[in-house]
Structure 1
């Protein structure tokens, strides 16, 4: 059976691609539509998916009367009809996380981005009035959502979903523990079913140990090798390299460090050439104060602001120096098959598509492989339920 999927806050399609790739002997998914407000993410999304992208502010799309401009209001009405014309089986949403993130201000529902969760509820209700509510939900957010405001924020979210008739399960999962992707990325995944038996049959979150991926050192290196573009050199990718000319304070010799007045020099001397020495490892210059190797051997969590510099930049040792990850490499660390069916835009509206935009998109994305793994377990839950139902019908008759 083919289950129809609609995607809110779709970004560049991490969840969508995961669902598209998910397969099971008795079921699969079909993407029907996606929604995203960021025009640059929309451009990347449209380049890689064929189904409709209904772009724009979902709050105004679902409530067009809020828009004062008559022309825009008319456009929002049309977009709402586009969304509501389809009955969907699954609603997915990687709803904005900045309001709950440790890296953000942690304002939760006091931040308008936190209130965007209520758009999910609004859409569920409108779909219920037009057709029926989605059978399943797949929601993703930062792990801090679970503990935010001493758990009260998540309690509200769960209660809202339960009021709509859903049985809710959640778990905080780390990409590096459950997929082949070498990135440390903890996120909360919220899965909900309208059918209590299907919810019961979704047992992944109760049996997480069975899904963990164990890697030895050779397999770890192979996984990293699969995402790094090691053919790049200073000649063809100079802008990604860290050199003394670009970052003089990161290449201080002992003599240079000692010649700095004690009142002005930092507590620790930084010399990237001396401290970043191992290939297939990830490093960071933390707060501009010291170099740190990521001790678990995988890339630290990719963030939306890693393109702006600072301690969020992951650095790697390559044959001809030290460089930061390229946008393509960050996308691959999220599971996007760059050069194998997924492409990055090169320009937009007549201007080059900036690396900063791409870094932001990768940092905001949902790991494709995580979405696929959970989507497949959701398929198993609903197909097992249907199989048992038909078996019971046959026996009864």
Structure 2
């Protein structure tokens, strides 16, 4: 695939020389680079062709880790920010947050406690005027709750979604006019109302002059998250800009519960002790009988019928009910309440739900991220969050896309002058 420019790493790879050699050639004029923001060096295809005498070295695409380091300050606004899972992923990728909006007071307190410098706006998004940020923001992100629309036999336009939180996301997009937006939601949105809800959302976003990429369900286990969580991502690019975004490629390694709770590659130490919910004695007696990796079908038949009641006679595996997670598997998707019936997530060795710190680790929050509120509120915040490492994987590709756009614009301006 031909490219218009090549980074320092790519050029060194193409010419089979070291980066130090390239820097020396640049300084003595043998092979000049173009200097961009932050002293970022790129080489144009024309320059390289002249140097090599037109040798065909340009039919290869090299992944350059430098692409993932922002070459300028990229600004973001996050809506429906929750406890900061996605925002932390964006921060980890080097993006700078200008504003976060969230209606839940405890989630807002969590954000303020951990990042006093973040501009956290608490309250109903409908009361926020975003016009002052117009054309000043690179990325708008957020996971608006999915609400049903009333179709009345026709496709809906922007105004017809008024009163929904999707409308507020679209309104913010229209007022801010960022280069890129990232919207995430539950995977169930794909099939909601036979796909018509998602189709309507895409139609509305396209009508606001954004090119919406094909929706993508990303599995968190593919992005250094020890959890079988899936989230739907929508990425849109302003139609007047030449920006190419690609969803992140899956990692080769799958992390499991042991990686979350024990010292290893994900964390340098075992999970710190913390409070957590407990099972009532009746449920504890049931869960004591479940082996690691097992669920309700590992109970004696009489207890299966007693515990499952009428659900015992219905179809489906219901493998999340009375489930004890094993050390060597990724955790099932965390819920907002770890002890409630039918979504049990039991510790591998101890007969109890995961503690709040264990919950946070399974969502790949750092240990120093402290959650505000009661235990119930903390579980809710963590269970609703986007896993930090999943957000990071998506955000790295945003940075790469913005870097390429920045470089292209800089080159066009220099060659035009």
TM norm structure 1: 0.68
Q: Does 1:311 align with 2:342?
A: yes
1:222 shift after superposition: 3.2
Q: Figure out how many residues of one structure are paired with residues of the other and give that number.
A: 311
CA pair 192-52 structure 1, distance change in 2 beyond 3 A:
same
Q: Equivalent residue of 2:333, what SS? A: coil
Q: Does 1:171 align with 2:216?
A: yes
Q: Provide the C-alpha distance between the structure 2 equivalents of 1:296 and 1:159, rounded to a whole number of angstroms.
A: 43
Match of 1:297 among 329, 332, 335: 329
Q: Equivalent residue of 1:85, what SS? A: helix
Q: Provide the C-alpha distance between the structure 1 equivalents of 2:89 and 2:254, rounded to a whole number of angstroms.
A: 26
CA pair 247-337 structure 1, distance change in 2 beyond 3 A:
same
Q: How does 1:101-180 map to 2 (within 5 A)?
A: 108-109=148-149, 115-127=164-176, 133-169=177-213, 170-177=215-222, 179-180=223-224
Q: Residue 259 of structure 2 corresponds to which residue in structure 1? A: 222
- Return 5+ residue gaps in structure 2 as ranges: 1-71, 152-160, 291-300, 309-317
Give the conservation status (yes or no) of the 8 Å contact 1:285–1:292.
no
Match of 1:18 among 89, 92, 108: 89
Q: Does 1:267 align with 2:287?
A: no
Q: Provide the C-alpha distance between the structure 2 equivalents of 1:30 and 1:344, rounded to a whole number of angstroms.
A: 22
Q: Provide the C-alpha distance between the structure 1 equivalents of 2:356 and 2:241, rounded to a whole number of angstroms.
A: 43
Q: Provide the C-alpha distance between the structure 1 equivalents of 2:163 and 2:392, rounded to a whole number of angstroms.
A: 26
1:46 shift after superposition: 1.3
Q: Provide the C-alpha distance between the structure 1 equivalents of 2:254 and 2:103, rounded to a whole number of angstroms.
A: 41
Match of 1:386 among 399, 406, 412: 406
Q: Equivalent residue of 1:297, what SS? A: coil
- Return 5+ residue gaps in structure 1 as ranges: 24-28, 63-79, 100-107, 128-132, 254-261, 271-283, 346-352
Q: Provide the C-alpha distance between the structure 1 equivalents of 2:328 and 2:208, rounded to a whole number of angstroms.
A: 41
Q: Does 1:56 align with 2:123?
A: yes
Q: Equivalent residue of 1:314, what SS? A: coil
Give the conservation status (yes or no) of the 8 Å contact 2:277–2:352.
yes
1:174 shift after superposition: 0.7
1:285 shift after superposition: 8.3
CA pair 109-303 structure 1, distance change in 2 beyond 3 A:
farther
CA RMSD of aligned residues (A): 3.5
CA pair 230-285 structure 1, distance change in 2 beyond 3 A:
farther
Q: Residue 344 of structure 1 corresponds to which residue in structure 2? A: 371
1:215 shift after superposition: 2.7
Q: How does 1:30-69 map to 2 (within 5 A)?
A: 30-49=96-115, 50-59=117-126, 61-62=127-128
Give the conservation status (yes or no) of the 8 Å contact 1:8–1:35.
yes
Rg larger in structure: 2
Give the conservation status (yes or no) of the 8 Å contact 2:143–2:183.
yes
Q: Provide the C-alpha distance between the structure 1 equivalents of 2:279 and 2:109, rounded to a whole number of angstroms.
A: 30
CA pair 267-376 structure 1, distance change in 2 beyond 3 A:
same
Give the conservation status (yes or no) of the 8 Å contact 1:286–1:310.
no
Q: Equivalent residue of 2:81, what SS? A: coil
Q: Residue 360 of structure 2 corresponds to which residue in structure 1? A: 331
Q: Equivalent residue of 1:88, what SS? A: coil
Q: Equivalent residue of 1:309, what SS? A: coil
Q: Provide the C-alpha distance between the structure 2 equivalents of 1:113 and 1:265, rounded to a whole number of angstroms.
A: 50
Q: Equivalent residue of 1:121, what SS? A: helix
Q: Provide the C-alpha distance between the structure 2 equivalents of 1:393 and 1:361, rounded to a whole number of angstroms.
A: 46
1:366 shift after superposition: 1.0
Q: Residue 144 of structure 2 corresponds to which residue in structure 1? A: 95
Give the conservation status (yes or no) of the 8 Å contact 2:110–2:371.
yes
Give the conservation status (yes or no) of the 8 Å contact 2:101–2:125.
yes
Q: Equivalent residue of 2:121, what SS? A: coil
CA pair 123-114 structure 1, distance change in 2 beyond 3 A:
same
Q: Equivalent residue of 2:352, what SS? A: strand
TM norm structure 2: 0.65
Q: Equivalent residue of 2:184, what SS? A: strand
More helix by share: 1
